[in-house]
Amino acid sequence: MVELLSYPFMQRALLAGVVIGVVCSFIGVFVILQKMSFFANAIAHSSLAGIALGFVLGLNPMVTAVIFGIIIALLIAYLKNKKILAVDTIIGIFLPASMALGVLVIGLLDTYRPDLLTYLFGNILAVDRFYLYLSVSLGLVVIILLSVFFKNYMCITFDRELAGIQGLHVAAYDYLFIILLATTVIIGTRVVGIILVSALIVIPAASSKNISANFKQMVAYSVVFGFASSLLGLVASYYLNLASGATIIMVSAAIFLITLMLRPVVQK
């Protein structure tokens, strides 16, 4: 472990992985209780277009991905609130359309960009200082805002109508949550990739739900599982020479299976 920490790239990878793991697992509790897993998946896939635009325009792909992802997320939320179509239909339109746009924009590139694969499948070992600062900064913003409005979001999650009666501006909180979720999903793509990032949000929260007695306990367990998955997965990938993103998700899946087996005992 001492040898591992002696490398600057591993120090950056560990810090980024732990931060993203904690942020994803924290917001993931609200995601699964509000049944928004498919929504998170749609945002992740839409980020391909934002990343591609960054390459074409000569801008940092993570910045353009965050901006594009937030725009798509707000559009989906707006159409959902207008009740024009069912939310799964809206997502079913935006997800493939965003992916198709990304593929078309990639086709505009003059040369092949192999680093595009790091966004599809993740490569936390290639994390640079800019991404580290960006992920830590945005991650802290997400955690702080969710902590400040924790009670309000808890109320909205369990009873939206009661929250409205109590004077909460539910729609405004929804849009803020969508922005936070989109930001979390996009910054997580560099760790585990576009294809797997929704799992980093959903699995730790689902694992905690198996053994939790109340909401606060669920949040606490989810954060612990997210932290453990990122740390153990990254260390295992280094020593076993495996893909870091996939290893993190497999560790998280293993934790889920363990909590699933413990569920009958805990919930007695």
Complete DSSP assignment for 159-209: -HHHHHHTT--HHHHHHHHHHHHHHHHHHHHHHH-TTTHHHHHHHHHHHHH
pLDDT tens digits, one per residue of 118-169: 777 777 767 778 878 888 888 899 999 999 998 888 888 888 888 888 888 8
* Model pLDDT, residue 3: 62
**CATH 2.60.40.10 for the 2-111+118-262 domain, yes or no:** no
CA dist 215 and 154 (Å) reads 8
Q: How many CB atoms lie within 10 A of CB 69?
A: 30
Q: What is the DSSP letter of 243?
A: -
Contacts 24+ apart (CB under 8 A), 15-19: 15/132, 15/136, 16/124, 16/127, 16/131, 16/132, 16/135, 16/136, 16/190, 16/191, 17/124, 17/191, 17/230, 17/231, 17/233, 17/234, 17/244, 17/248, 18/227, 18/230, 18/231, 19/135, 19/136, 19/139
CA dist 30 and 52 (Å) reads 30
Name the least confident of 3-7, 105-109, 254-258: 3-7
Which pLDDT band, with edges at 50, 70 and 90, does 215 fall under? confident
The residue with tokens 């725009």 is 71
